[in-house]
């Protein structure tokens, strides 16, 4: 059994007060011809993969109704969907969703940003295949610009390391994992005073190495209002 956690509990603070996951997305429609929202487009890719059994969506406090209204109901006939109240951070929101999934005993779980609407069913399936094979996987894309590491801004803005672009990539979602091990890792991470940037970092610290598969250039995350166009 494969479950998906879709993160949509954030405040969208850089979207001028508009909840980005609930916005209509131009050019995306469900199988009935109805326009999709940002989160609806993301959900549809998992449904169309035909390999997802459960979808848990994290929402802000009192945000369940709005999230439900934003979903493509015509695509949800064969998938179980439920909502989980998110926390103050992405880590806390994913942890809440994982705890809610424990009684359902999924074998694998994918974690996806609700603000990445241009994901494809093909990428979903590639992540699932690699999670089955390796235990943990993330989609990545090569960097276009040459990366540099800078010193602590409090000590001045100077380059501290010149990184090799060929060995640095940008991580995307969905990130896929064996469920039981990811949940155990989250329980350990919850007791540590550290900020984790994504689920792969949690797995890497408390489980094992993380594999990679090619991501999609179009699988971008909406952060600012101009990103939705």
Residue 206 is predicted with a pLDDT of 96
Residue 12 is predicted with a pLDDT of 55
Instruction: Report the CATH number that the domain containing residue 177 is assigned in CATH.
Output: 3.90.550.10
- For residue range 90-147, what is the model confidence (pLDDT) as tens digits? 999 999 999 999 999 999 999 999 999 999 999 999 999 999 999 999 999 999 888 8
Band the pLDDT of 64: cuts 50, 70, 90.
confident
Measured between alpha carbons, how far is 75 from 44 in angstroms, rounded to an integer? 7
Cis amide leading into 174 (omega within 30) = yes
**Residues of the domain holding 119:** 2-228
Pairing of strands 136-142, 211-214: parallel
In the chain, the percentage of residues whose pLDDT exceeds 90 is 61
Band the pLDDT of 14: cuts 50, 70, 90.
low
Q: In whole numbers, what is the pLDDT of the chain averaged over residues?
A: 89
DSSP letters, 103-125, are GG--SEEEEEETT-TT--HHHHH
Q: Is pLDDT of 178 > 80?
A: yes
Q: Considering only 13-17, 97-101, 185-189, which range has the smallest mean pLDDT?
A: 13-17
Domains held by the chain: number: 1
């Amino acid at each position: 059994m494969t479950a998906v956690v879709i993160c949509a509990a954030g405040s969208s603070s850089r979207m001028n007060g508009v909840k980005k996951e609930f916005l209509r997305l131009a050019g995306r429609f469900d199988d009935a011809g109805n326009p999709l929202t940002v989160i609806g487009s993301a959900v549809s890719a998992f449904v169309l993969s035909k390999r997802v059994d459960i979808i848990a969506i994290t929402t802000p406090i009192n945000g369940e109704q709005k999230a439900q209204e934003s979903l493509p109901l015509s695509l949800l006939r064969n998938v179980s969907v439920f909502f989980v109240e998110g926390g103050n951070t992405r880590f806390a929101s994913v942890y809440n969703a994982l705890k809610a999934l424990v009684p359902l005993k999924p074998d694998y779980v994918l974690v996806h940003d609700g603000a990445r609407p241009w994901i494809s069913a093909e990428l979903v399936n590639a992540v699932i295949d690699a999670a089955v094979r390796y235990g943990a996987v993330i989609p990545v894309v090569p960097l276009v610009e040459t990366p540099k590491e800078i010193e602590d801004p409090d000590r001045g803005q100077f380059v501290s390391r010149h990184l090799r672009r060929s060995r640095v990539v940008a991580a995307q979602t969905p990130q896929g994992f064996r469920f039981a091990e990811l949940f155990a890792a989250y329980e350990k991470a919850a007791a540590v005073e550290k900020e984790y940037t994504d689920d792969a970092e949690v797995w890497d610290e408390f489980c094992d190495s993380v594999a990679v598969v090619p991501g999609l250039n179009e699988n971008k995350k909406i952060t600012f209002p101009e990103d939705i166009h």
